[in-house]
Copies of this chain bind each other. A is one copy, B any other.
């Protein structure tokens, strides 16, 4: 592995900044050896100065022509690609994720950056609406009023452990906040500080090449207390987070306790129920079990869309479904998880579940997990609908390669189980036409009330980056069900509407000027139009 001269410094805009705080070293989950580089956390005063620099960048950055912001995003993608294999090798060492997966994740990360560059260049995302003046209206004339979305201000973003590229320093939150016109301060995730430094420097290089205002992007190493102080700082106007429920809720509480509360977009926990109705199980039970096993162990189960709960009703087809699922899980080798902490939580979660008298271990991987390789051992368990209804702990997320199959007495009990669940990122329905014509329940409505994405068949892992994606959902899947953290609509999280009344044309933002110089879609007196 190549060391690539890691300095362990934070980036305060264009300047490097060695922290006054404690030291941080990366440890390889596969093997436990320390990796090169000593990272130093910032003190509270240092972190405050970074936020304040971001605040000075806000006005100039927000005023840039949108195409300049797009060029910046494209340049970040180019810089990331030009880092080449050393980036992937460092990410592989720090996360234990395979090179093939990281190669794909880099592609996704660059794809997201370029997608937001296209969104900003196309420009219609600002949702411009124009009502022209009606000077002769009675009893009162109508003034000219024009509104569009404007950026919120500096955003603090917390990198995720399970996507060291796509949801970290240059990930979807950063890309969408920069696209919206907000300066970004990223807190590096302590599990991959070297990857973070490499990516952070690539963004800084892109910022310099495209002439961004100093402070548009910063990367900081901090402990949790200092990170919370950054969220509490008056100049911070929004927070992006992907991680644990405890971590997300802690930030939410800090943001709510501020004199000026700010939005927190935390994507936290989800068990992603899969519902298999009777005839679907009968017709395709074995195929579903095979696919489901693959989805459960994909990425060692370290996806927020991992299918953690499977609901079905007792029937003739049940046993062969369970047999197939068990067989596939037994045949899957344990694999390295992201950190010892995540692996320990996983093992503890499985232990707690299987120690319940209501839960049976259906199968686990034939091979033991190697502790020194931080491996997680795939497992599937079963329980009954009655037990599930009585014990809320059975619906808690166990982050890792496992799933709990809930066998219900009938569809009514199954519906009751789903209705008592908390909010989810996804919910999947397997049903045949006969299932749907025979059922007494509106399954789509039941699932959609609890999730941001409903799948008809298929598997929830694999979150397509596109216009129509919702990667979000009711609490506690996220702290704000009105948003998505994946796809083009993610940009809307970092903006708010402003109306301009009776403005001279030259003083208006380009998006609202009479000639429509950006050639965007606008709603003009109620009609969609690209005209001037």
Contacts and interface: CB of A to CB of B under 8 A. Distances in A.
A452 B140 CA distance: 23
Interface centre among A150, A444, A448, A482 (most CB of B within 10 A): A482
Given A150-B448, A263-B482, A474-B260, A499 B468 contact: yes
Given A458-B143, A464-B143, A497-B470, A261 B453 contact: no
A453 B501 contact: yes
Interface of A: 59, 62-63, 104, 124, 129-131, 139-140, 142-143, 145-147, 150, 152-153, 252, 256, 260-261, 263, 422-423, 436, 442, 444-445, 448-449, 451-458, 462, 464, 466-470, 472, 474-476, 479-484, 488-489, 495-504, 507, 521, 523, 525-526, 528
A253 to B, nearest CB: 9
Contacts of A480: 263
A501 B147 contact: no
B468 A146 contact: yes
Identify the 4 closest CB pairs spanning chains A and B, nearest first.
A470-B499, A145-B468, A453-B499, A129-B468
B475 A260 contact: yes
A479 B261 contact: yes
A352 to B, nearest CB: 21
Contact of A507 (B63, B261, B436, B481): B436
A36 B131 CA distance: 44
Given A131-B464, A423-B260, A469 B140 contact: no
Given A131-B468, A467-B523, A502 B458 contact: yes
A466 B140 CA distance: 14
Nearest to A119: B526
B467 A526 contact: yes
Interface centre among A104, A252, A481, A525 (most CB of B within 10 A): A481
Contacts of A456: 500-504, 507
A208 B70 CA distance: 53
Contact of A501 (B124, B454, B507): B454
A419 to B, nearest CB: 11
Contacts of A448: 150, 498
Contacts of A470: 147, 497-499
Contacts of A468: 129-131, 145-147, 499, 523
Contact of A444 (B256, B489, B507, B521): B507
A497 B482 contact: yes
A145 B464 contact: yes
Nearest to A503: B456
B256 A445 contact: no
A525 B467 CA distance: 7
Nearest to A466: B131
A140 B263 CA distance: 35
B499 A454 contact: yes
Contacts of A499: 452-454, 468-470
Contacts of A482: 263, 495-497
